Structures are given as C-alpha cells and as structure tokens.
Structure 1
Amino acid sequence: MIGDFKKVKEEEKKNIEEKTKKRGRRQNNVREEYVLNREQTKFFVDLSKDKTSLELVFKLLLDANKKNYGAEITFKELSIYALERLTPKDIEKIQEGSMTQMEKVERALNDYNQKNGVTLSLGDFLVKKLNIT
C-alpha cells in the first residue's frame, strides 16, 4: 500500500516536470496555469527593498506588543490574523494591481467584444475608444 502511494507521488512529479520542461519561445497570449505546491510549508517575505512596508510591519508589531500580560505577538500571528479577514473584494483589488497596463487594455478589449458580440482587433478597439478617424 505504501509502495502504491510512492508510485502515485512519483507519477505526479513526472507529470509536473513534463509540463514545465518545454523548449522554444514562449507565446505571448498563452498564460500557464498556476500550480499550487501543497508540500510547501514555509513562506518568506523579503521587505528589504520596500521600506514603507517594513516600517508598517515594525509599527504594527510595536503596537501589538504594548501590553502588560501575555506572550509576544509575532509577525506570523499578525499575518495569519490579516489573511483570515481577506474578502473576495480585497483579492480582486490585489489581482487588479498585479496586471500590467497592456493586460488591462486586453481585458477591456475582451469585455467589449463579449458585450457587443464583435471581434475587434486591438488596433480597431483603440481607434473606436479614442475616437480617432
């Protein structure tokens, strides 16, 4: 039974490796599906280049630990508390912030094409939106 489990794990790893090992140029319009590694147990946050976020973390930790009783509150406890309170709207804002300007234009084009039942190219869409004649 344990041997069967190991075989299944090995097959899953091979399938993942086959999907990731592709040669040649990557196409621009094709987005690879995100694969979550459920074996990952440690997460690191590097704030060395983001001084404002680092100061915010320090301020929150200082404020959280201004107390007379109880154990020290750590960054882990603060982050888990905050993650539990993320709403779908918050996730949408984060997703929006991760998009480039061109991806936002492409999304607007796809929405327009879908809404109006047309298949405009990017150039035609921009001409129409910018009222260029």
Structure 2
Amino acid sequence: MAQTLEDCVGPKTRKKIEKLKSKVGDCLVREAGEWLYQVNTKVNEQFVVNLRERTCSCRRWMLTGLPCPHACAAIQSSSETVESFIPTCYSMETFRQVYAGGIYPLHGPDMWPKTPHPDIVPPDLRRLPGRPKGSRMK
C-alpha cells in the first residue's frame, strides 16, 4: 500500500494537517519580526509563533511535532508550505522504511524456551484499609 501513496507525508498525518489547516480561518496573524508572528484568535487569545525555532506559546507544536493551527496560520502568511515544517519522522520515506520489512509472527508462550529463573507473578492482593462494604439489606 505504501508504494501507491505519492504524498510527502503519511495518510494519517495528511488528515491531521488538513484538520489543522481548516482552523486557520479563526486566526489573525501579525508579523512581529523575522520568523516571529503574533497570532490572535476569535476568542481573544494571543499566541507567539517562532517559525525558525518551530515553537508556539500554546506548546502543541513542541509536544506533537506537527504545527498547531496558530503556526499553520503564521506559515501560510509567510508564503511557506506547512509540509516544509513537518519533521522527517512523519515523512512518507520514513513511513516506507518502517513498513518495508515484514513483521514475523512469534510462537505462543507454550513454545517459549524454559529458563532456570522463576516465573514472574503479579503481587499478592492485600486488603485495603477502611471499613469493608457489606451487602445491603433490601
């Protein structure tokens, strides 16, 4: 399937980008310097977007790696493409490399080799403090 896809990013990433781009209309962008933008939203929120460092004051861009709607608005106002600001881990080439090899099945636990170490078991349940719940008389 990956060979038939001709996009620069993976299919799920493309869907996320399109969803982010749809929210750009709610943003008013002002250039504050070279690569620095102030983005205001309709609900009177204000964010600072730095395209050089790939940061936004909402911190979503730093957490996910994908530009937030504020960053998308700033990127579009700078006449760049959003795809150029997406990390290589979301690229189609990485997608192809990850799924290039096969995923081989494993034998079940009955066929695993036995070791001289004891089996790992969950800890014993202990009674928690407090009054135990009794059955209610109906």
Same fold by TM-score greater than 0.5: no
The TM-score range, normalised by the shorter chain, is: under 0.3
Whose Rg is larger? 2
Higher relative contact order (CA 8 A, sep 6+): 2
Which structure shows the bigger proportion of residues in strand conformation? 2
TM-score of the superposed pair, with normalisation by structure 1: 0.22
Which structure shows the bigger proportion of residues in helix conformation? 1
TM-score of the superposed pair, with normalisation by structure 2: 0.22
